[in-house]
Chain A
Amino acid sequence: GEDVEQSLFLSVREGDSSVINCTYTDSSSTYLYWYKQEPGAGLQLLTYIFSNMDMKQDQRLTVLLNKKDKHLSLRIADTQTGDSAIYFCAEREPNTDKLIFGTGTRLQVFP
């Protein structure tokens, strides 16, 4: 199947760290992505990681990749109210170049 799974909701206090988790299906996927969607808008790429990496850090964002468990996570440090959005993980299938997205995690940041 082509299931990329995420939990649907996450609620955090402003200033805390957020961790959004994702499990993907194809262990041979070469690229894994995190996208952010704000209300009424399309998706914007936050970051991506190549499959030969375990971790990638970009300012407040840290991506961890566990290929053995096919698990991807996105950590947002010092979460702000502007981070409230839906976050999607996605994998790029190596043989077809299909982009398969997860169900999305709605992050709510409260003061």
Chain B
Amino acid sequence: DAGITQSPRHKVTETGTPVTLRCHQTENHRYMYWYRQDPGHGLRLIHYSYGVKDTDKGEVSDGYSVSRSKTEDFLLTLESATSSQTSVYFCAISGDRGMDGDTEAFFGQGTRLTVV
């Protein structure tokens, strides 16, 4: 299995509080992604990173920020959590595109976040 871990695995937080989720990899992969998974919506991209300090928005980035100060860590922050951000969050990593390999994305086990 690829070396990717998410922490925490479960969190319950109150509306209005800040929350940070951490994704850590040991594969030295260039790309890192944060997704949220909700019924009927599949996986939606929140933010992604294509290198240290290089990040870009996905389709559902409002209310979220990210940081990548080193290759192995990609942090997702909810500045002021809302109930609509209750979801399961997945981190993924991926290497550079090659001719026929090293393109798959490896996923973490997910973080279940509940905002009450």
Contact = CB atoms under 8 A, between A and B. Distances in A.
Chain A bound to chain B: yes
A8 interface: yes
A97 B31 contact: yes
Interface residues of A, number: 27
B94 to A, nearest CB: 7
Interface of A: 2, 4, 6, 8, 30-31, 33, 35, 41-45, 48, 50, 88, 90, 92, 96-104
A7 to B, nearest CB: 12
Interface of B: 31, 33, 35, 40-45, 48, 50, 56, 58-59, 90, 92, 94, 97, 100, 103-110
Grouping DSSP codes into helix (H, G, I), strand (E, B) and loop, the A interface class, with mixed when no group exceeds half, is strand
A4 B41 CA distance: 10
Contacts of A48: 103-104
